[in-house]
Amino acid sequence: MSFSSWLIPTLVCTVLLVAHARGVPVFEVFIQGAEEGLRLAAHLLPYILAIYVALGVFRSSGALGLLTRWLGPALAPLRVPAEILPIILVRPIASGAATSIIAHVLETHGPDSFLGRVASVLQGSSDTTLYVLTLYFGSVGVRRTRYALPLCLIGDCTGFFGAVLITRLLFPR
Amino acid sequence: MINGIWLGLIVIGFGVAALQGRLDAGTVSFLTESRRAVDLTLALGGTIAVWFGVSRVAQEARILDSVGRRLAPLLRFVFPDLARDHPALTAIALNLAANIFGLGNAATPFGLQAMKELQATNRQPRTATPAMITFLALNSAVLTLVPSGAIALRAATGSSDPAQIVEAVVLTTGLSMAVVLAADRVFRRLAPRDRQP
């Protein structure tokens, strides 16, 4: 039994027990949240659709295979599998699109394959950095962002290479 | 940029298909991938709904507030130039707590509130303050203990152990957070002080 097997059960039971002790009607509130979640899923569907169609064409035509063959040697010294590249490119700007690409990798290669695990770790550890930067600074009218962009890019790069490296370490084949 | 990437995938895809005499395969995917997308969304929708349900219960029970209160004192080391009782600190703590527990949807309102509070004490309103930059960098590279989105995706695509990537995510985000905080210190020292207009 590992930390991860305990995580979700412990979290769920703690939240529900604390909420119950604090007088929250747990069932009714759960229903409200679930409805909001279903609405989010419906909102996500067009993104998943658009990305699946585009990636499907790109893959079945053989273009993805060609790209991986060309980029593979260039990425090999960095130990980054070429299939991961589209995630790295899209993730900082578009959350829905990146999630769809990751889902596509998980479905194609299997969530418990090496690529599936790297993609999952990327999903869990990266953020839509450039989108958040634009949104947050834009919301208060800041124009000069000084060293914010390079700093955020350093964080993104660490996350991307870290995800590949750490997945390799924790799940040796 | 996302428009260019999407367009490129489809046009280059069909172009390569034509060159390799596989246009039919391209057409079939274009018309049938939608089925897979809908199937995935249905599976994912269920998991997302359950998680949203639990996180709504957590919000209603004000569990995030308790975590945020405990986080606030630690933030003084990360934001040395903010007054101890600066109103932004509470919003920052709540934003980070939401990110740590994978409640991304709850994080954004706190984040926008934090920016507003930081802007209130900014003497050059068009220029980012060091605290704003630290907050933004930390917001996207903060330690994540519950990668709810990744776990949901893995469950929806049939993983036998959806949570098995949690340790890797904790290590990766811990590493990014450490690197970002160290790099932030360096940038702060190197960045030229802005003269008051």
pLDDT, tens digit (0-9, with 9 covering 90-100), for A70-103: 877 887 787 788 888 888 888 888 888 889 999 9
Is B68 a domain residue?
Answer: yes
The Cα B9–Cα A52 span in angstroms is 11
Averaged confidence pLDDT in chain B: 89
Question: 């490119």: which residue's tokens?
Answer: A89
Residues of B in contact with A151 (CB under 8 A): 133, 137, 180, 183-184, 187
Q: Do A171 and B168 touch (CB under 8 A)?
A: yes
Minimal Cα distance from B107: which residue of A? A132
Asked if residue A18 lies in contact with residue B61, where contact means CB atoms within 8 angstroms, the answer is: yes
Closest to B133 (Cβ–Cβ): which among A4, A56, A148?
A148
Q: Do B133 and A136 touch (CB under 8 A)?
A: no
Is B4 a domain residue?
Answer: no
Residues of B in contact with A116 (CB under 8 A): 154, 157, 159
Residue A141 token pair: 């009218």
Contacting B residues, span 68-127, partner chain A, CB-CB under 8 Å:
101, 105, 111-112, 115-116, 118-119, 122, 125-127
Q: What pLDDT band is residue B193 in, cutting at 50, 70 and 90?
A: low
Q: Do B112 and A163 touch (CB under 8 A)?
A: no
Asked if residue B136 lies in contact with residue A149, where contact means CB atoms within 8 angstroms, the answer is: no
Is B7 a domain residue?
Answer: no
Query: Quick one: average pLDDT of B108-114?
Result: 90
Tell me which of B79 and B51 has the higher pLDDT: B79
- What's the complex ipTM? 0.85
pLDDT, tens digit (0-9, with 9 covering 90-100), for B128-155: 999 999 999 999 999 999 999 999 999 9
Tell me: pLDDT of A118 over 60.
Answer: yes
The Cα A140–Cα B22 span in angstroms is 51
Q: Do A33 and B54 touch (CB under 8 A)?
A: yes
Is B16 a domain residue?
Answer: no
Closest to B49 (Cβ–Cβ): which among A26, A37, A112?
A37
Best mutation site among A2, A13, A32, A58 for testing chain B: the one with the most B CBs within 10 Å? A58
pTM of the model: 0.85
Tell me: pLDDT of A148 over 90.
Answer: yes
What's the confidence (pLDDT) of residue B196? 43
What's the confidence (pLDDT) of residue A1? 55
Is B79 a domain residue?
Answer: yes
The Cα A77–Cα A65 span in angstroms is 19
Q: Do B118 and A145 touch (CB under 8 A)?
A: no
Close Cβ partners of B192 (under 8 Å, ≥ 6 residues apart): none
Q: What pLDDT band is residue B74 in, cutting at 50, 70 and 90?
A: confident
**Closest CA of chain A from B163, distance in Å:** 6
Is B17 a domain residue?
Answer: no
Q: Do B49 and A103 touch (CB under 8 A)?
A: no
Is B130 a domain residue?
Answer: yes
Domain count of the fold of chain B: 1
Residues of B in contact with A91 (CB under 8 A): none
Residues above pLDDT 70, as percent of chain A: 99
Task: Choose among B62, B59, B91, B63: nearest CA to B75.
Answer: B91
Best mutation site among A20, A57, A93, A144 for testing chain B: the one with the most B CBs within 10 Å? A57
Kindly list the distances between the CA atom of residue A26 and the CA atoms of A29, A33, A37, B52, B167, in Å, as whole numbers in the listed order: 5, 11, 16, 13, 29
pLDDT, tens digit (0-9, with 9 covering 90-100), for A153-164: 999 999 999 999
List the domain range (segments joined by +) for residue B45: 27-190
DSSP B1-57: -HHHHHHHHHHHHHHHHHHTT-HHHHHHHHHHHHHHHHHHHHHHHHHHHHHHHHHHH
